[in-house]
Amino acid sequence: MTDNAILQSRRQTALPRGIGTAFPVFAQRAEGSELWDVEGNRYIDFAAGIAVLNTGHRHPKVMEAVRAQLDGFTHTAFQIVPYEPYVAVCERLNALAPFSDPAKSILFSTGAEAVENAIKIARAHTGRSGVVAFSGAFHGRTTFTMALTGKVAPYKKKFGISPAGVFHVPFPAESHGVTVAESLRALETLFRADIDPTDVAAIIIEPVQGEGGFLPAPTELLVALREIANKHGIVLIADEIQTGFARTGKMFGIEHSGVEPDLVTIAKALAGGFPLSGVIGRAEIMDAPETGGLGGTYAGSPVACAAALAVLDVIAEENLVDRANAIGSKIKAALEKASRRNDIAPIAYIRGPGSMVAFDIVSRTDGGPDAATTKKVIQAAIADGLILLSCGIHGNTIRLLNPLTISDALLDEGLEKLERALVAGGN
């Protein structure tokens, strides 16, 4: 018989410290919006594997599709012997593309792979190498995506100087004191001082920053970036890895703005917990790389493709886009009510579209970020059976990423646990 303490000891001996773990509890089984650890403790999951499980743990339709694929084959490498599920997923993604031009898609395994390949495609299309990203962004942990990520600790610390050709401008957010006008002026300065726009292949942006603090990109900024990209022949990339597949109350987060990107990176919720990512793009741009320039041994796993087709069915059949908006409204109402209490950890800046909701925990004395109290709240939550995640450049943002299939009863129970955690953390 094992327990969490034994497994934690084994983990510390066997694994390097570079891989962090939020909680020393080890999963044994999960279903829907609930998870049980090896000691039988039950948790309501408000993390969903970092926005991976929009359709919940082990959705019956997803599991059925995976079992059927396992009875056929598990791997051939699409570049060697192709298979229909890969093609079918791309057809479905092309139909969902958040732009009006004909689309093509390609599949990979991880979000970082999707971002890296989106940059490769943009460079092949433009013949340029520069890339502009935003402070606070998270685009991955590989060497190049780490360069795009706009946060030093822990993602860049000790890993040396980033590859050349990547530039950052400030991301506009009221809570950070940065306006859209200031961001755009910084971009203009960048084009005058560091890189000519004719040398820029791509601008990449999250419609809602994830790790950066669940900060929605203002529509004004996205409209301006589209105009700048059009003017200078730059590829505009929407990184929808965390925002995609109904999370924000639209299929893709950028759809809230009405702005059409050129490329879209996807991963996380696409395959319901199975590793699958991809790039959706305007066909003329997607066709720029030479044959053989894109791909990967495990890219577009047939098992993950089967899961993805089921996930897309579930999103449509269970109206998860509308459900995300309903869940988000309920969460925000509960948070607004809680914020008026004087016996909880002070909260501010309740925000986020659909069910991509977050809030900041701030100091009672000066209203500034309070990372220490945030940690106390999260620890109180896990002790009470609620899985929560923090984020943000100051470590004081709590993000809520419950599955979109969560029942009203479980959502209410989770929100009650969250309120108790805020009381415990504030005292």
What is the per-residue DSSP string for 397-423?
A: EEEE---TT--HHHHHHHHHHHHHHHH
Cβ-contact 411, 327 below 8 angstroms: yes
Q: Clarify whether residues 224 and 121 are in a common domain.
A: yes
Measure Cα distances from 298 to 75, 88, 99, 109, 311 in Å: 8, 17, 28, 7, 20
For residues 204 and 166, what is the distance between their CA atoms, to the nearest angstrom?
Answer: 11
Helices marked H in 255-359 — which ranges?
Answer: 283-286, 302-317, 320-339
CA–CA gap between residue 187 and residue 205 (Å, rounded): 13
Domain final residue, candidates 298, 315, 332: 315
**What pLDDT score was predicted for residue 157?**
86
Q: Are residues 41 and 152 in the same domain?
A: no
Together in a domain, 49 and 67: no
Q: What is the CATH number of the domain that holds 30?
A: 3.90.1150.10
Nearest to 105 by CA among 229, 263, 227, 226: 263
266 and 342 co-located in one domain: no
Note whether 23 and 136 are same-domain residues.
no
Are residues 164 and 106 part of one domain? yes
Under the phi-then-psi rule, with left for phi > 0, alpha for psi from -120 to 50, and beta for the rest, what region is 214? left
| Torsion sign over Cα 41, 398, 278, 323 | positive
CA torsion angle 331 335 338 344 (round to 10):
120
Q: Specify whether 308 is located in the same domain as 339.
A: no
pLDDT in tens, the chain (427 residues): 689 999 999 999 999 999 999 999 999 999 999 999 999 999 999 999 999 999 999 999 999 999 999 999 999 999 999 999 999 999 999 999 999 999 999 999 999 999 999 999 999 999 999 999 999 999 999 999 999 998 888 888 888 888 899 999 999 998 888 999 999 999 999 999 999 999 999 999 999 999 999 999 999 999 999 999 999 999 999 999 999 999 999 999 999 999 999 999 999 999 999 999 999 999 999 999 999 999 999 999 999 999 999 999 999 999 999 999 999 999 999 999 999 999 999 999 999 999 999 999 999 999 899 999 999 999 999 999 999 999 998 999 999 999 999 999 999 999 999 999 999 998 8
What are 230's strand-pairing partners? Answer: none
Number of independent structural domains in the chain: 2
Q: What are phi and psi of 233, to 5 degrees?
A: 70, 35
Whether 326 and 309 share a structural domain: no
CA distance 253 to 23: 29
Domain stops at, among 315, 340, 367: 315
118 touches 237 (CB < 8 A): yes
Would you state the structure tokens that stand for residue 144, as one six-digit string? 């190049």
Instruction: Identify the domain containing residue 415 by its residue range.
Output: 4-55+319-425
* Alpha carbon distance 385, 208 (integer Å): 28
Cα–Cα dist 391/211, whole Å: 5
CATH of residue 140's domain is 3.40.640.10
Residues 155 and 298 in one domain: yes
What tokens does 227 get?
Answer: 């105009």
Do 140 and 240 belong together in one domain? Answer: yes
Sign, CA dihedral 184-187-192-193, equals: positive
Give, for 166, the enclosing helix (H) or strand (E).
Answer: strand 166-169
| 219 shares a domain with 358 | no
How many CB atoms sit inside 10 A of residue 279's CB? 29
Alpha-carbon radius of gyration of the chain:
21
* Triad 334, 386, 53: Cα angle to 5°: 90
Residue type, 12: Q
Q: Residue written as tokens 């809602």?
A: 208
Residues 253, 122 within the same domain: yes
How many whole angstroms separate alpha carbon 88 and alpha carbon 307?
12
Contact (Cβ atoms closer than 8 angstroms) between residue 122 and residue 201: yes
Contact yes or no for 421/377 (Cβ under 8 A)? yes
Give the DSSP H or E segment for 263: strand 263-266
Q: Which of 315, 349, 376 is the last residue of a domain?
A: 315
